[in-house]
Structure 1
């Protein structure tokens, strides 16, 4: 009889530990609309200012560096495979500006001419 009580007590203890462990499990929120975009394997190619898309040129003319000259321009293409590959914004343009006082600034634009924040 005493042996049965020990077995039943051990089973009850094991059951309560299992229930407590499962009660503390946190399920990830799968209904969120936020997305993480990872860009892999960038290819950076120097281009001339005349090769910039019209949207980027317009953004430069309307932006903070409209009075600065373009010292260098780069086309950055992101390539990869699977879910990690970007599709919409797989091209960015890195522009190196220089003013009359030889100050330098760098700005990155997406294909639509929007400034890309770091």
Structure 2
């Protein structure tokens, strides 16, 4: 059972994950749209769309994704993005970091400095 995941970044603040399931045509799309409200606070909008199980309550999908976000909350809120370099050579990476590296390179290509915030 393998899923094909397609991740797109729309700089500077939107990313879309499309999951293609083994059943032909079955897809789930999750968009993350960040809306900075201050230097240290961001509102995250997460529209979710699916073309399967449409007879099931959409609240079930929202509840599942909320559990996933809650698992990451402590780690995300402990980060200090103002200290994260945009240059990928300044950190050691693992394969799971590919999307983060692409995002940082994209920010640099748009003229952001080595550090996103100061």
TM-score between the two structures when normalised by the length of structure 2 = 0.33
| Higher RCO, 1 vs 2 (CA within 8 Å, ≥6 residues apart) | 1
* Between structures 1 and 2, the one with greater helix share: 2
Compute the TM-score of the two structures, normalised by the length of structure 1: 0.33
